[in-house]
Every structure is written in C-alpha cells, then in structure tokens.
Structure 1
Amino acid sequence: MAGFGDFNSYNRPYGLDPNRETNDLYDTRYQQIYGYHTPLTEEYQGPPLVMDEVPEEESNAYVTTAISVASLITENLLSHPFIVLRRQCQVHNSLKNYHIVPYTLLPVVVRLHRRQDFTTLWKGIGSTCIVKGLNLAVEDVISKGTGWPKDIGKCSSVLQFLQHLTLKCISVAIVTPFYSASLVETVQSDIASDKPAILDVFREGFLRILEWGTPSRGRMLPIWAIVLPTAALGITKYFAHMLLRKITVKVLRFQQRHRYELSDSYNINNTKNGQNPLIEDMNLKANIFAFITMEIIFYPIETIIHRLHIQGTRTIIDNLDTGTSVTPILTGYEGFIDCYNTTIAREGIGGLYKGFGALVLQLAAHLAIIKITTLIVSEMSNLLKPANSPTNSEESAHVQQKYLFN
C-alpha cells in the first residue's frame, strides 16, 4: 500500500502511468474539483475536507449585507413610532400609567389612531433625519478642518483616539440646539398645535443658540445648561458602545474558533487570504447587541435630559393615560441634578423608566425585522445557488477516500 510521501501514488490517484503524458490532464481535473493545481514540488498535505466554500462565503456575504441594510432602515425609519411613544412618556412628568411593560401601550395606541390621523406616530420624522444628517455633516467638516479621524478604524494611536472622541463630543454639542427643536416636534400633539414645516427645525435651533444666556421664554433653560449633559451622555454612550462591541466580537471569535476546532470539517483554508467570511457577521451581531444594551442602560439618563430639553417650550403632548386627550408640560427644573432628585422624590425610580415598554416594542420589532430578513435572503440564496454536479461530487469523494485510506 502506497504511503503519503510516495510521488507516484500522490500524483497518480487514478492509476495513471508516470511515463505517460497525462500530468496536465490530471492536473486540470484536480483543479476543477478542488480549485487549485496539484503541488508537485511539495509534500502532500491531503485534499481539503471542506468543499463548496466559495458559494457559502457568497451566501454569508449576501445575508450580512441584507441584515446591515435592514438594521439601518429599521433604526432610522421603522423605529420612529416607538421613539415618539417613549419620548412622550419620558417628558410627561404627571403620567400615572408609566407604561413600563409593552401591553399597556397597545390600547392607548388604538385610541390615538381612532382620534387622530394614522401619521400621529410619525410626526417629527423629517426633523429627526435632518438632525442625524446635520450631525454627520458637522463631523465631516470638523474632521477635514482639524485632521482628526472621523472613523474609529483610522485611529492608530492614543492621541488619535482622543481626537476622535473630542470630534464626536464637539459635533454633539453643536447639534444639541437642533436636536432640542426636533424633540419638540416628535412629542407635541397634532390636534393641539400646528404641524411644523420641514425646515422649522433650523429656525428653532438657531433661536435656541441666540438665547445662549437666560432665555426670554418662561422657564426654558439656557442652552449651555442642556449642552453639557447632552454631550456627556452622547460621548459616554458612544464610548461604552465601542467597548462592549469590541468585547462581544472577541467572545464570538473565541466561540467560533472553539466550535471549528471541535468540528471534523475544520479547515484552515476557510481563512485563506486573511479574510474570514464570519468576521463581518460577528461585527454585525456585536453591533446590534451593543446597541440594545446601551439603549437599556442609558434610558433613565435619557429621560432626564429629554425633560430638560422640553422645559419651557410650551409644548402640549398627547395624554398617554387615556389616548383621547392632551396635556401641557409644566416643569421647573433648575438643572440635571434637580431634575433627577425631583423625579425620584415625586415619581419614584419608576419615573425614570416611563415609556420603557415602547423601547421593548422597538427592540423586539428591530430583532424581528432582522430575523425575517435573514430567513428571506437565506432562502433566496439557496434557491439561486447552482446545484453541484453529481459527477464532480462522486469523483471528489473517490479522491478523498483514496488519499485518506491509502
């Protein structure tokens, strides 16, 4: 029985005569089966145990791209009705039903749609998209003007990382007045106030900037008193998101490596050319997990900051206790600490989690859309994937068995 190191047994698995000119023919056939030429000058290492890896990589790439697009659309558009509900609950300091669980919101939403238009939960979506675009534009301008890295992946030193965080902090501070104007548009009732124009967010934002000191309108806080906690929340949330995502990726990679090492089909060729088709999927899963975790952890702080933004704006919101009436927002907080202490004293710890049920619905819808997208794209990839040739499969199995048992 021939050994693995025997030249003739290695290069002639079909019993070809080494004196006959059939090397090129066999080499072409081997390339069709395995995807590369026979290594005539190297010691035989055995044929790859994992077949059809390219179609699987392409399938994984399609699924990952589809999930990324679905997650982006869901986060910026489809989640908006849930954001409206949770913000209305957060700023309503006299709300009796805290709506911490999702099912209490369902009858209220039904009453809102009966009394108002179907678009009642889509109010302010235009200004919300404008503020997000404005934030990206400000980051781009600052990055080009200072040379600070806009993307975390371009940070190659501690100094660049600090510059990146500073850029994020400055951009959040600049956009804060416009975010405040957008927040008012998302919570105010359609039946108690006129619908704002698409560019009113800029007008109201610039008015807040001009009133940098003590505002002239009632109990409205000066913008600097809102910028500091808003920027602190934004940069802390961003840093914690990055840290948690990196830790999650490391955990997923460790689990995947351990799973492959225990599998009979493990093959180092899966990571050839330094590109693992699973890395993209791991990063996406880690990003989604970090997003969900940060939304839950920072929810109480977001409640306080939203109340500071809305104070003194004379906003009238839908009463989510009934869903059939409206109520004005009348508060007199002196700052972040006073808002926290007042909320705890009058509403308890649960007051910081008002509208948490809307966040649960938002995250559940987000995950459901991603899951559905994954199933649809996976099924489409399987339907469009070309069937393997029976001849090639039989010959491939024959070659592997000959090498493994000879």
Structure 2
Amino acid sequence: MAGMESYPRHSYESISDRPIQSRYESDEVLRFSGGASRERFSPKSFEDASQKDDDGTITKYIGIGVGLASLITENLLSHPFVVLRRQCQVHNNSSLYHLMPVTFLPVIVHLHRRQGITTLWKGLGSVLMIRGMTLAVEDLISKFTPWPKEISWHSSLKSFGQHILLKCTTLAVITPFFSASLVETVQSDIASEKPGIFDVFKEGICRLVSWSSPQKGRMLPVLALVVPTVMYGLFKYLFYNGVRGVANWVMHFTHRHEQEKQGALSRDILGRTVSQDIELTSSLIGLIAAEVVFFPMETVLHRLHLQGTRTIIDNLDSGYEVIPILTSYEGARDCYVTIVQQEGVAGLYKGFGALILQFVAHVAVIKLTKFMLTEISSLLRSARKPPPAASSDMDLTRVSPSHHVYSKPPSGYGYTQQAYLPSD
C-alpha cells in the first residue's frame, strides 16, 4: 500500500485477503504522514475535474456560436433594412420620412408583391465585396508601412496616430468603390438592369481614374467626396470604440461590485460566460450608439455619393412607383443646409425606422441563438451526467500519536475489513 511503509508494526492481513480490482479502489485508502495529518484521494475529484473541462468546452462553443450569429446578422440578415434606410435617405422629395418602423410595413408588402422577395437583397454582393476590400487594403498597407492595424489603451501616441493614418488612407482608397456599391443598393430592380458581379470594381475604377477632374453633369469628383467620407468613417470608428470601451468598463465594474456585495470575490472574477456576454453586449452598444449618432451625417454622405449617377429608386411613399434622383448639391455643407431648409431637421433622419427594425432583429437573433445553444448544452450535460456513486464512510480516527484505528472501507469492495491496533 502506497504511503504505509513507515508503519511496519501494523498488521493488515485482512486487506490482502482479496486482490484490489481497480486503481480507484486502491486510491480510496488514506495516506498517513507523521500520525497527525491526513489526505483523501477520491475518484470524485477526477470526475469533478472532467466535468469542469466539459462545461468549459460547452461554454466556449456557446460563445463562439453567439458571436457567429451576431456577425452573420450584422453582415447578411440586416441588409434588407440597410436597403430601406438608404432609399429613404437619398429620396429628397419624399412625403413619408419613415421615422418609425410601423410605416414600413405596408411599403414592404407592396414591394414584395410587385418585385418579389429579392427586392430588399439587392446590392448584397457589392456590400460584402466593399467590406472585404476594405480589410484587404488595410492589411496590404500595414504590411508595407509601420502603421499598426490594431491598437489598445496601452499603445503609444505615435502608434495611435499611425493607426488613424492607416484608417484614413484605407477609407480614401475605398471611396469611389463605395459610390458604385451605393448605387447598386438603392436602384430599382424593375427600372434598371441588374448589375454584374464585378461592375462595382469597374465603376469604382472609372471614378478613381478621374480622381480630381470634373465629372459629367451634376456628379461630384471623387476628390470632393474623399474628405466627408474619411471624416464620417473615422469619427464613427473612434466613437464606436470609445463607447464600446466605456460600456465594457462599466459592466466589469458592476459585476465586481455585485460580487463584493455578496461578501467575497471569487478567484476568477469573470468567468468565461460572463466575459463573453460583456464583450458581446459592449460591442452591440457601441454599434447602436455609433449608428444613431452619425445617422444625419450618413444621410448627407449618401446623397453626395449618389448625385449625378442617374439612379432610379423605388418610391417608398407607396411602394408602387419608381422615381429618379435629381439633386445639385455643391458639397457637404450645402447638402446639409439644403436638407434642413427644405425638409426640416427630420429630413436628416429619413429612414430611421429601418434602423430601429435592424437592431431589434439583431438583438432578437442573438437572444434566440443563445437560448437555443444553452438549451442544447443543458440536454448534453444531462445526457452525459454519470449515475450517483455510493457514498464512502472510510475515515481515519486518531487515537494517539502511536495508535491508529483503520475503519471499514466503503461497501461494495467484496471483503470484510476489521480494525487493527499496533502490536506491542
């Protein structure tokens, strides 16, 4: 028996009457040290460790699943609401502003009856291409320059400035391609030819070549669009990260304060589940706040990009007609002043109801995904839960520094155990 060699005067004949059947049965005995301390080795400890590993793995996959659902919702499922919002923003003569979601319902029904279910998914390919192109350009620039793609709160001021310069350069390069993608997103399917897969690159390159030269008609040159586009993208990015960081800190502080109110802090203040929830919630709060605050600026920017493109959009006042977009803004300032004078301040928020629908759907998908994955994990845990083990009444009773009594082992070992005293 391991750990019993220091007690040669003890007699253990009954223990050797029958061979031990398993490793766990042999480990169930107690280990002595100096006759004063004791330590129990039980199979239950191994089962608990295995259970914790399984729970940690399941929690990890739940977090991955919820994050993936949020990413898909942000890039794919929210696209119909983006189409509705943009068509409202660029319609300068609309009578309905669609500030609330309920006004969209009859319009959506009419659009689906006349143009089919795909009418709200137009331009999805170009939007995804622009996002992928943005990441590719940013990665390419960072490889040939010392400008970092990622920064933290502990980064130096120089690294922060270089990171901002990287973002601005990327936004400037993407500007003409964004204009082409915007046209594909808002133009009517029944009044325009469906664009090809690579038309967004062809149109973008055409506008990029004529960087600063005057355009035909009312179309603004790309150089006039770069400054408002870069300002919009940069300010929105900084605002999003600032709100996200503050929300993350507040939720961490709140969770820690709740633990302190309970009397003690756990060794792992933030479990994996809590940490995942805080990260996802803070990102969603930052995204919603950035979209709401910069909505008026987005309206101005979309009208500037669409001007002079001869785009025909669906009339969202009724959902039955199509109308051309004819504007003559001289720049961002003139566009803003004209909107406020002719359409009022509410004109800057045309289509805001679509943004509300977008984030309601976003939160609903996240909640539903988390609920389903949690229920599935609960079923898996209950299916893998082992039957309750028989309780062990093995114990070591100290009689004196030189006398010990070894009580009977747990039931089910198949032999009878007696108590022995050291022989004198």
User: By the TM > 0.5 criterion, same fold?
Assistant: yes
CA contact (8 A) 2:59 2:272 kept: no
Q: Which runs of 5+ in 1 are unaligned?
A: 1-13, 37-51, 399-406
> Which digits, 9 at most, give the CA deviation of each residue in 1:165-223, with x for residues without a partner?
11111101100100000000000001111011010001110111122234332101111
Q: Structure with the greater relative contact order (CA < 8 A, sep ≥ 6): 1 or 2?
A: 1
Measured after TM superposition, the shift of residue 53 of structure 1 is 5.1
Q: 1:293 aligns with which of 284, 289, 296?
A: 289
After TM superposition, the score normalised by the length of structure 1 is 0.83
Q: Which residue of 1 aligns with 2:180?
A: 181
Measured after TM superposition, the shift of residue 309 of structure 1 is 0.3
Q: Which residue of 1 aligns with 2:85?
A: 86
CA contact (8 A) 2:84 2:351 kept: yes
Measured after TM superposition, the shift of residue 160 of structure 1 is 1.0
CA contact (8 A) 2:313 2:322 kept: yes
Structure 1 74/34 Cα, relative in aligned 2: closer, same or farther at 3 Å?
A: closer
Q: Which residue of 2 aligns with 1:319?
A: 315
Q: Which residue of 1 aligns with 2:385?
A: 387
Measured after TM superposition, the shift of residue 35 of structure 1 is 4.5
1:111 maps to a residue whose letter is H
CA contact (8 A) 2:59 2:273 kept: yes
Aligned pair count reads 364
Q: 1:335 aligns with which of 324, 331, 348?
A: 331
Q: Which residue of 1 aligns with 2:416?
A: none
Structure 1 67/265 Cα, relative in aligned 2: closer, same or farther at 3 Å?
A: farther
Are 2:227 and 1:228 equivalent residues in the alignment? yes
Q: Which residue of 1 aligns with 2:103?
A: 104
Structure 1 34/213 Cα, relative in aligned 2: closer, same or farther at 3 Å?
A: closer
Are 2:337 and 1:346 equivalent residues in the alignment? no
Report percent identity of matched pairs.
48
Q: 2:40 aligns with which of 26, 38, 43?
A: 26
Where do residues 42-121 of structure 1 align in structure 2 (5 Å cutoff)? 54-121=53-120
> Which digits, 9 at most, give the CA deviation of each residue in 1:49-70, with x for residues without a partner?
xxx6555443432222111101
Aligned partners of 1:216, 1:337: CA distance in 2, in Å?
19
Measured after TM superposition, the shift of residue 29 of structure 1 is 4.6
Which secondary structure state, in structure 1, belongs to the residue aligned with residue 40 of structure 2? helix
Aligned partners of 1:269, 1:389: CA distance in 2, in Å?
29
Aligned partners of 1:116, 1:268: CA distance in 2, in Å?
59
Measured after TM superposition, the shift of residue 25 of structure 1 is 7.9
Which secondary structure state, in structure 1, belongs to the residue aligned with residue 223 of structure 2? helix
> Which digits, 9 at most, give the CA deviation of each residue in 1:85-122, with x for residues without a partner?
00000000001000000010110011011111221111
Measured after TM superposition, the shift of residue 28 of structure 1 is 4.6
> Which digits, 9 at most, give the CA deviation of each residue in 1:355-406, with x for residues without a partner?
00111111111111001001011001111113265338x77xx9xxxxxxxx
Measured after TM superposition, the shift of residue 20 of structure 1 is 9.8
Q: Larger Cα Rg: Structure 1 or Structure 2?
A: 2
CA contact (8 A) 2:213 2:221 kept: yes
Where do residues 123-202 of structure 1 align in structure 2 (5 Å cutoff)? 123-153=122-152, 156-202=155-201
Aligned partners of 1:266, 1:210: CA distance in 2, in Å?
61
Measured after TM superposition, the shift of residue 290 of structure 1 is 0.4
Aligned partners of 2:154, 2:216: CA distance in 1, in Å?
44
After TM superposition, the score normalised by the length of structure 2 is 0.80
1:75 maps to a residue whose letter is E
CA contact (8 A) 2:215 2:221 kept: no
1:137 maps to a residue whose letter is A
Measured after TM superposition, the shift of residue 153 of structure 1 is 4.5
Aligned partners of 2:269, 2:43: CA distance in 1, in Å?
22
Which secondary structure state, in structure 2, belongs to the residue aligned with residue 189 of structure 1? coil
Q: What do you get for the CA RMSD once the two structures are aligned?
A: 2.8
Measured after TM superposition, the shift of residue 26 of structure 1 is 2.1
CA contact (8 A) 1:177 1:206 kept: yes
CA contact (8 A) 2:313 2:325 kept: yes
Q: Which residue of 1 aligns with 2:373?
A: 377
Aligned partners of 1:311, 1:325: CA distance in 2, in Å?
20
